[in-house]
Amino acid sequence: MASHHHHHELSGTKLREAAQKALEQHGEQWTSMRASIFDALAGQTKPTSAYDIADAVSSARGKRVAPNSIYRILDLFVTSNLATRVESANAYMVNAHPGCVHDCIFLVCTGCGRAVHVDDDGLTSAVRERASREGFIVDKPVIEVQGRCAACAAA
């Protein structure tokens, strides 16, 4: 297994089409509500809470959408690899390459709140192997590194 992935980050229509395809391959339907939530999430520049997504979708649709509905769909998106959850921020980010399944590492800026998603299968494999040696069965490693991005560090 390679240590690092190199992806062509998708955006706009291509990202939405890839997300729809991935969701349908996961045996789920691409509904207008799911499309609205995906579009709202994809339009964010940093990890976003379900409440913020609910506000954005409610505004776009002209009627209130309950956060519980948003949480259910975001959970489906995480399960289907369309989004990832930044645990420390209790927030979500769109997966810019939904067809690729791997463990993620987040670099989370404590200054501006942005998170950078990086792939390093060598590192996450080492975490999985270490857990296995301890008799622990890993569902999904969550690795988040908190610090300051270059822009915040320079300010």
pLDDT in tens, 20-29: 998 999 899 9
What's the pLDDT at 99? Answer: 65
Quote the mean pLDDT of the chain.
87
The CB-side HSE value for 4 (13 A sphere, CA atoms) comes to 3
Summarize pLDDT for 34-65 with one digit per residue, the tens: 999 999 999 998 999 999 999 999 999 999 99
Structural domains in the chain?
12-94 (1.10.10.10), 105-154 (3.30.1490.190)
Residue 121: exposed, middle, or buried by beta-carbon count in 10 A (0-12, 13-18, 19+)?
middle
pLDDT at 95 over 80: yes
- pTM attached to this predicted model: 0.79
Q: What is the pLDDT, as a whole number, of residue 38? A: 95
